[in-house]
Structure 1
Amino acid sequence: MKLSLICFTEAGARLCRNLMAGLTKAGDECQGFGPGEQGLFPVNGSVREWTREQFYQKEGLLFIGAAGIAVRAIAPFLQGKEKDPAVVVLDDTGRFAISLLSGHLGGANALANRVAALTGAQAVITTATDNHGKFAVDLFAKEHGLIITQVHKIKVVSSALLKGETVGFFSDFPVEGQLPEGLAMNQPGTADLYITIKDRIEEERNNSLKLVPKIVVLGLGCRKGVSGEAIKAAVEQVLKEWNISKESLAICASIDIKKEEAGICEFAASRKIDFVTYPAEVLCGAEGEFSASSFVKQITGVDNVCERAAAVCVKESGGGTLLVKKQAMSGVTVALAVRDWKVVI
């Protein structure tokens, strides 16, 4: 994790330096701030100003001091559990490591436990599902790389489990392992979980929570100079027609002559997905049956860009299938492939 630590006393500074050494050894990226101690950056301005800067840059904040300081400092910047970084508070004697904010999705519970292990502190975890030994859907989603489409429904699932009620578990993908207590495979419950790349589910109810794996590969071709907006419109139209969730997009692929195509680069950046390209000879070697175009071959050296790019990319990812063949509109061609994937519990 990318972490920022702040302390306010000499004892806190010693603890901060020791923690940074342990966390860095474990692979974390740490910056420490404190009262002019060796190895720590000075805090310029107020604690609130420091928090504002760090809150949007780091994956986790660690306050070494009173919990009240942390609460007042972070309060103006809270956005929601799917956006907030992990926040942990450790007293400057190293007795208690408190998971204060974003325990599951942000990883504060895990960070508090790691801090406790390094300092000998008692980890303080207040999340109800953890303390009652119940399945935590947000932690499950984080561990499996699943996107929670409606974060406010997490509490619907958690509430049902805490009451001892059954939660239905439905998956469009193979499930390997034993379901946790309280979940029932393919049986509707007080609340339901769906693991799918579908945008719309016919059986979905108000008490249903959808988890989307990022496993769809987007193959793209386009006329030179096509805008990012045109590419976005084409992709969204294909996703809508084929009932594919936009959250499922993992990567986009094309031919190497499009490596710096502004519209594709703009689109990939807007979706926060990687953009990879392949030489024509690699695309020509793609396995499968593709929609051939002599015109495209004359221009690019390969008879189909979007389908072949998606096929090559999904194979590199461990295998998969071409889900949607070439769809053309407004100078853009779109194809979709889906990776081979399963739910491992």
Structure 2
Amino acid sequence: MLNPNLKPTLKPTPSEDGIGIWLVRTEAEPLAAVLQSGLGGTLYRPWLDTTRSQKQQFASAYPHHRHWLLLGATGIAVRFLDGLTQDKHSDPALVVIDEAGRFAISLLGGHEGGANRLAAQAAALIGATPVVTTATEALKSLVVGIGCRKEVSAERIAAAVQAALEKLDGRTMADVREIATVDLKAQEPGLLALCAQHDVPLRVFSHASIAGRGWVGQASEWVRSNVGLDGVCEPCALLAAPRGVLVVTKTALNGVAVAIVEDGFRAAGAAPSLFASSNISSNISSNISSNISSDIPTNIPSNISSNLQEQ
């Protein structure tokens, strides 16, 4: 239980080796409770100390944790960090999460400090969108959507992903920016192990989000009966990269379904096309077309609907 009367402890203690969670306002209490429950850490409620400004309090507390979550506006975080940063190899990492829990922004220490990983973990926990701007991630353009049976091993998942990647000449796990799945699989051991092995974040979408935009090339009766969705891998990949192109449609192997979306910047005014990638072979496109009913679902994005109607 959260103790609302607990004042922030600024003197270093062994427990502060974990995450520091800074609440800018009391309105962030519910969000902070969820984050602390899932990630652990120490809560800081600076309004309880009326003798110093929040910036002064944060400056005192900042060195005592290797990782920080600040619940508030990015501008506040920037002002708090003014004068505190020294070196990217030693500065504590900081992730900003808005009070509505919509975005988890890796602001400082993305790679060296682990902010990118923390942003992904926090986002998966609260259903937020992770925001990562480091150059290495910008060069990774593949998003892999995965659906799998319960307790499938990491080796079987890896084999299915490899089979899908082989459809793209020369592409490997080194090109994968993130893996996406449904919330029911957020704690799937094999999936988590694969992500950890390749240092790739797992992005989780709620059942409702997928149902609302759950277009798939061909619905799965098994998934519909057991999960309540038409499919998992394709919609998850498309939701994770909404401007992307589906370059590998659903590929199933030993209880694992994989789809791959190629993300990338497009010129202003050029709408993303589901089948327009030069990397997708004509035979895959033909197979997709033959499997699509003339009655296109009404809950898919308009640009995808237009592309399907032209097939």
Structures share a fold, TM > 0.5? no
Question: Given the two structures, how large is their TM-score scaled by the length of structure 2?
Answer: 0.43
Question: Given the two structures, how large is their TM-score scaled by the length of structure 1?
Answer: 0.39
Q: Using CA pairs under 8 Å that are at least 6 residues apart, name the structure with larger relative contact order, 1 or 2.
A: 2
More strand by share: 1
For the pair shown, which has the larger CA radius of gyration, 1 or 2? Answer: 1
